[in-house]
Each structure stands twice: as structure tokens, then as C-alpha cells.
Amino acid sequence: MKRYYIPWFLLLAWLMPLAGAAQTSVSVTAEVLSGHFAGQLSPGARAWVTNEVAQLVEQGRFNAPAVAVDIQSHFAGQPVGTPEVQALSLVVLVHAVTSAEASVTNLGTQLAGLSAARVQISKDMARSKLISLNTVPNRTVTVGAPPVTTTNRAALDPRVEERLVHQFYLAQAAAKQLGDDLKYFQSQATELVNAHLTGLK
């Protein structure tokens, strides 16, 4: 399979802004409501949310009917009506968006670090060549190559970069899709104000 190599200077210029301040698709209203409902959950219910969030991030999109079925199944026999289903879905969605966006930032930081390491390696190698060219005639000078480290190997291995770029694109797509799903869900969840999650296990 043909490999496509991304020049370090292009990758660095593209990723440095992403590695900085994280941007979020979660509105203040969604964040406040999610925090309010999450605060009512028991440890068992929170563990369920964590598992559901992991599945949602892996799938990369929100399927409201499927999540509703999961809620009804896990909390069977407990007072869970439409308001509670909507509230739990909101908590799961907000955490999923936050998790996906954190992955984008983390992967962007890794790629930017990889590019920065490649820049440093290039500088070190150029410096070594310059020292060699400026040696006194008829005198042997031993110039050591840049030390081989785990970071060096990763920076010089295009497969590492390809894997991270692939993961970055997947995470970015998931974060955008889940962010859009959250906005749509908020516009449709009209019974959230009536939800009571206290006591759910």
C-alpha cells in the first residue's frame, strides 16, 4: 500500500492551534443541566453512564432510540419515564461530546509534539554536518549523531504519524457528529424539566 508522507512544517502549522485551547460544542445550558442531573445519580448509575459514553464515542454518533432502550433495560423496575430518559440521554451525550473533543485535543498535541521532535532532529543533524565541514584540514574530528531515543524513532517513523493522523480524523469526525447530535437532541427534549433521577441505581 502506498504511503503518503505529510511534510512536518505543514502538519505543525495545521495542528498547533488544535493543540492549544480546546473548543467545545457543549452549550452552557446543556452543561448546566447535565451537571445538575449527574449530581443526582448514584454510583451505580454513574458507572452505567461511563460505559454508555464509551460506546457512544466509539460509535461516533448518537442513536436516541437505542440509548432509550439501554436506559429502560438497565433501570428496569425503577421510576423511569420520558423525562428521565431524556435527562439520562442528555448526561450521556454531554459526556460523550466532552470525551470526543478531549481526544481530538490530545491527538493534536501528540502530532504537534511529533512534528516538533522532527524539527529538532533536523536541526541536530544539520549542526552535525556543519561541524564536520568546518573541521581543520588533515585533522580527524569525531562528530556524534543525535542520540537515538523513543521520541526520535517515533518522529522518524511515518507509520506512527499515519496512525495518529488516522485516529485524529476519526476523533474529529466523532466530536463533530456528537456535537451536532447534542444540539438536535436539546431542541427535541422538551420534558427535561420534569425529570427526577435521585434514587436511580
Question: What is residue 138's predicted lDDT score, i.e. its pLDDT?
Answer: 52
Please list, in sequence order, all residues whose beta carbon lies within 8 angstroms of the beta carbon of residue 159, skipping any fewer than 6 positions away.
3
Question: What is residue 182's predicted lDDT score, i.e. its pLDDT?
Answer: 92
C-alpha 49, offset from chain centre: 18
Question: What is residue 196's predicted lDDT score, i.e. its pLDDT?
Answer: 79
Among 201, 191, 175, 195, which residue's Cα sits nearest to residue 93?
175
Q: In the chain, where are the structural domains located?
A: 8-194
- Amino acid, single-letter form, for residue 169: Y
Query: Tens of pLDDT along 24-74?
Result: 778 888 888 888 888 888 898 899 999 999 999 988 889 999 999 999 999
pLDDT over 50 (residue 192)? yes
Question: What is residue 30's predicted lDDT score, i.e. its pLDDT?
Answer: 87
Question: What is residue 143's predicted lDDT score, i.e. its pLDDT?
Answer: 46
Query: Tens of pLDDT along 113-170?
Result: 777 777 766 666 666 655 554 554 555 444 444 454 555 565 566 777 788 888 888 8
CA geometry: angle at 190 spanning 52 and 90, to 5°? Answer: 20
Question: What is residue 3's predicted lDDT score, i.e. its pLDDT?
Answer: 44
Question: What is residue 48's predicted lDDT score, i.e. its pLDDT?
Answer: 92
Question: What is residue 147's predicted lDDT score, i.e. its pLDDT?
Answer: 52
- Amino acid, single-letter form, for residue 186: Q
Question: What is residue 141's predicted lDDT score, i.e. its pLDDT?
Answer: 45
Q: pTM to 2 decimals?
A: 0.71
Give the alpha-carbon dihedral of 49, 54, 57, 62, to 10 degrees: -40
Question: What is residue 54's predicted lDDT score, i.e. its pLDDT?
Answer: 92
Of 56-65, 86-95, 155-164, 171-180, the least confident: 155-164
Question: What is residue 51's predicted lDDT score, i.e. its pLDDT?
Answer: 93
Contact between residue 185 and residue 25 where contact means Cβ atoms under 8 Å apart:
no
